[in-house]
Amino acid sequence: MPVSATPTKAELTVRRTADGLLLVGLAGDWGAQPEKPGLGAVEKELAGGGITALAFDTAGLGRWDSGLVALLFKCLGLCDQKGVKVRTETLPEGLTKLIGLAVAVPEKKGAARSEEQPPFLQRVGTSGLAVWEGGAGMLRFMGENVLAFLKMLRGKAQFRWVDTFMVMQECGPQALGIVALINFLIGLILAFVGATQLAIFGASIYTADLVGIATVREMGCIMTGIILCGRTGAAFAAQLGTMKVNQEIEAFQTFGISPIEFLVLPRMLALILMMPLLCVFADVIAIGGGFLVSSLMLNVSPLLYLNRTIEAINLSGFLLGIIKGAYFGVVIALTGCLRGMQCGTNAAAVGQATTSAVVTGITTIIASDGLFAVICSALHI
Amino acid sequence: MSTDTDIKIEIRDLTMAYGSFVVMRDINAKIKRGEVFVIMGGSGCGKSTLLRHMIGLKQPAKGDVYYDGVPFWQSSDEARQERLRRFGVLFQSGALWSSMTLTENIALPLGEYTDLSAGDIADITRLKLALVGLKGFEDYYPAEISGGMCKRAGLARAMALDPEILFFDEPSAGLDPISSRNLDELILQLRDTLGATFVVVTHELASIFTIADNSVFLDPNTRTMRANGSPREMLKHSSDPAVQEFLTRGEKSAPAAAAKPV
């Protein structure tokens, strides 16, 4: 192919010759140029009818790149539709070869995705079925976990305590810092907001009751649950999701080792054991936060504050918080592991699994806490 | 000659599908004890899917796989689990458990399914790693070794329980030609010494002709198997153009794609 120093304009001309032959002339530089002629002229001639064959005249053709190949490929497609024969002999050798490669493998029938949207009712049905299947999958997963748990109680589950201890270390002691920070701030905020309102009635001292009861019954376990959901639940989903991508879960299955027993059970146990402890820790820290604010900034006597706190908190409220904490632990482990096990087999799917684990986990925690509140109020706990 | 008791694995009228999408239908094959059976075909034709059906990861839409004359999918869960323990599977990328060292990877199935003492397990683990040329890497994590080494460690793990049947998913993918050849030789040696049956998914021609005693050729266009038997015999006697094209890398038929009339 001749290379000229200054690029000339790319040109495409069409000429009809005798016996229905359409001669397409390609001239100029077809390299990286902004303006290139399209197939309009050829299409017009083809639509005119009476053409049985198409040939190329490439005498003046300069440089070319994939743009020209794509144009010729499209042209071939057009001719194929109209039943027009194409002679490619006169094209430069490189072009002929590339075109040959492009048409070598016929288009797979039915492989191309159709763009049209399914009808409304079908979409409703499909989404309905997906919701149903999602729910059924969750129930099945929970059932499998219950069975695995029972098996563990009988000492028959295939799992290692060493894994459980490792997860406990990861979700317990290593989470102390963040749990402390958040709960300290929550105690502090509760004290500030409460004290300002209570001061109107001259009842600043009841800040201690407010902080104590709110923390022990609700805020301690909820905040710890949310922190662990974002921290540990997401980690579970990402770990199991990556193992799924890497076929590690299938490797367990082919050894006849149940992934539920080996992977989910230790994580669940670890959270059930660690969450109540973290909740107690969170309660102490949050009450400490309220204490600091009240005694340093609100002029409440420290001793009085502590006394009020001890009087305000009762055992049932405290135990309620702890039990809820253990329950949230189960929720976090289940949602994290479920989303991890349901993960697809690519990197994007791991991201989705993690997101979905956190969203499902936090929603379930808040929603079930509401349910707890209703039940407790009915039972006067 | 061959009697029915020689047949280790039999695939009978197997149809594989994802939902309503049929991948392959009516696959039939008999695999004898001690044979190396190759599942071959172009990329994306369902070779690995067939393997997944054989190792209990995907349920067939129709038909079944028989091991020693016993149907696999129609059996109870317990029987299936029991059968799985006598398999060894090498996944495409090794699929080593990434949170465990190589030793722990191999020791885990031994600990779960044998009554061996910790010392015996350690000895066997060291032996299996040495067999695949990974002596000295016992305490490495899978992320710390190369892809080829992961694959060999995966093989050591697959052999941990001295399985009756070893399944390999694309063993030579991602290996250099020499490692790939060494792996082929290892497979043949294992077959001769352990007497195990091998099922190998591959499209590596050199490998196919070196190791295969028996094979099945899957064709994505007709969505079924096109040929069954020894690849060398197929190359000599098969009149099927698709089989010939595959086994000769398309060099005998159609000289060059570019010369095709368009």
Residue A201 in 3-state DSSP?
coil
How is chain B split into domains, by residue range? Answer: 1-86+163-250, 95-162
Helical ranges in A1-110 per DSSP H: 40-48, 66-82, 93-104
Q: What is the DSSP letter of A106?
A: P
- Cβ burial of B54 (10 Å; 0-12, 13-18, 19+) is buried
pLDDT at position A251:
92
Kindly state whether residues A95 and A157 are assigned to the same domain.
Answer: no
CA–CA dist B52, B56 (Å, integer): 6
pLDDT at position A109:
66
Kindly state whether residues A179 and A252 are assigned to the same domain.
Answer: yes
Note whether residue A122 is domain-resident: no
Q: Which residue has the tokens 């031994």?
A: B110
Kindly state whether residues A147 and A272 are assigned to the same domain.
Answer: yes
Count of Cβ atoms closer than 10 Å to residue A335 Cβ? 27
- Beta-bridged to residue A26, according to DSSP, are A12
Nearest partner of B166 among B149, B177, B154, judged by Cα: B154
Residue B227's region, left for phi above 0, alpha for psi from -120 to 50, else beta, is: beta
Of A86, A251, A256, the CB nearest to B97: A251
Kindly state whether residues A99 and A28 are assigned to the same domain.
Answer: yes
Residue B1 C-alpha, separation from nearest chain A C-alpha, in angstroms: 33
Note whether residue A297 is domain-resident: yes
For residue range B178-235, what is the model confidence (pLDDT) as tens digits? 888 888 888 888 888 878 899 999 888 888 898 999 999 988 888 888 888 888 888 8
- Range of the structural domain that residue A59 is part of: 11-104
Whole-complex ipTM: 0.82
Whether B91 and A101 lie within 8 Å, measured CB to CB: no
Residues 193-212, chain A: which have Cβ within 8 Å of B?
none
Instruction: Identify the weakest region by mean pLDDT among A307-316, A344-353, B17-26.
Output: B17-26
Contacts of B150 in chain A (CB under 8 A): none
A85-87 and A53-57 as β-strands: parallel, antiparallel, unpaired? parallel
- How large a percentage of chain A has pLDDT more than 90? 55
For residue range A37-58, what is the model confidence (pLDDT) as tens digits? 888 888 888 887 778 888 888 8
CA–CA dist A21, A17 (Å, integer): 5
* Residue from A254, A263, A345 whose CB has the most chain B CBs within 10 Å, to mutate: A254
Q: What is chain B's alpha carbon radius of gyration, rounded to the nearest angstrom? A: 19
Residue A329 C-alpha, separation from nearest chain B C-alpha, in angstroms: 23
Residue B215 in 3-state DSSP?
strand
Residue A223, pLDDT > 90, answer yes
B36-41 and B197-201 as β-strands: parallel, antiparallel, unpaired? parallel
Confidence of residue A139 (pLDDT cuts 50, 70, 90): very high
Count of Cβ atoms closer than 10 Å to residue A309 Cβ? 21
Contacts of B259 in chain A (CB under 8 A): 100
pLDDT tens for chain B, 262 residues: list them: 445 668 889 999 999 988 888 888 888 999 998 899 999 888 778 888 899 999 988 889 989 999 998 999 998 988 888 888 889 999 988 889 988 999 999 999 998 888 889 999 999 999 989 888 888 898 999 999 988 888 889 989 998 888 889 999 988 877 788 888 888 888 888 888 878 899 999 888 888 898 999 999 988 888 888 888 888 888 888 888 888 888 888 776 444 443 334 3
CA–CA dist B16, B50 (Å, integer): 7
CA–CA dist B89, B156 (Å, integer): 10
Closest residue on chain B to A88 (Cα): B262
CA–CA dist A350, A339 (Å, integer): 9
For residue range A71-95, what is the model confidence (pLDDT) as tens digits? 888 888 888 888 888 888 888 888 8
Note whether residue A267 is domain-resident: yes
Whole-prediction pTM value? 0.79
Nearest partner of A170 among A97, A81, A270, judged by Cα: A270
By the CB < 8 Å criterion, does B79 face chain A?
A: no
Query: How far is C-alpha B90 from the geometric centre of its chain's CA atoms?
Result: 7
Residues 227-256, chain A: which have Cβ within 8 Å of B?
242-243, 246-248, 250-256
Structural tokens at position A319 = 């135990």
Q: What is the DSSP letter of A20?
A: T
CA–CA dist B81, A257 (Å, integer): 8
Kindly state whether residues A89 and A149 are assigned to the same domain.
Answer: no
CATH code of the domain covering residue A59 = 3.30.750.24
CA–CA dist A59, B118 (Å, integer): 81
CA–CA dist B96, A169 (Å, integer): 24
Contacts of A103 in chain B (CB under 8 A): 260, 262
Count of Cβ atoms closer than 10 Å to residue A170 Cβ? 16
For domain B1-86+163-250, the question of CATH label 3.40.50.300 is answered with yes
Number of domains in chain A: 2
Kindly state whether residues A41 and A157 are assigned to the same domain.
Answer: no
pLDDT (mean) for A100-105? 80
Kindly state whether residues A78 and A147 are assigned to the same domain.
Answer: no
Note whether residue A342 is domain-resident: yes
Rounded mean pLDDT of chain A? 88
List all residues 6 or more positions away from A57 whose beta carbon is below 8 Å from its beta carbon: A23, A24, A25, A26, A90
CA–CA dist A221, A283 (Å, integer): 8
Whether B89 and A99 lie within 8 Å, measured CB to CB: no
pLDDT at position B256:
40
Kindly state whether residues A148 and A85 are assigned to the same domain.
Answer: no
Beta carbons of B169 and B177 less than 8 angstroms apart: no
List all residues 6 or more positions away from B123 whose beta carbon is below 8 Å from its beta carbon: none
Between A143 and A96, residue with greater pLDDT? A143
Kindly state whether residues A268 and A325 are assigned to the same domain.
Answer: yes
Kindly state whether residues A183 and A58 are assigned to the same domain.
Answer: no
Q: HSE (CB half, 13 Å, CA atoms) of A354?
A: 15
Kindly state whether residues A80 and A166 are assigned to the same domain.
Answer: no
Note whether residue A285 is domain-resident: yes
pLDDT at position A276:
95
A61-64 and A21-30 as β-strands: parallel, antiparallel, unpaired? parallel
Kindly state whether residues A296 and A207 are assigned to the same domain.
Answer: yes
pLDDT at position A111:
66
Most confident of A1-5, A101-105, B46-50: B46-50
By the CB < 8 Å criterion, does B92 face chain A?
A: yes
List all residues 6 or more positions away from A157 whose beta carbon is below 8 Å from its beta carbon: A148, A151, A261, A265
Chains A, B: CB pairs < 8 Å: 68
pLDDT (mean) for A105-110? 69
| Element containing residue A337 per DSSP (H, E) | helix A315-341
Note whether residue A130 is domain-resident: no
- How large a percentage of chain A has pLDDT more than 70? 96
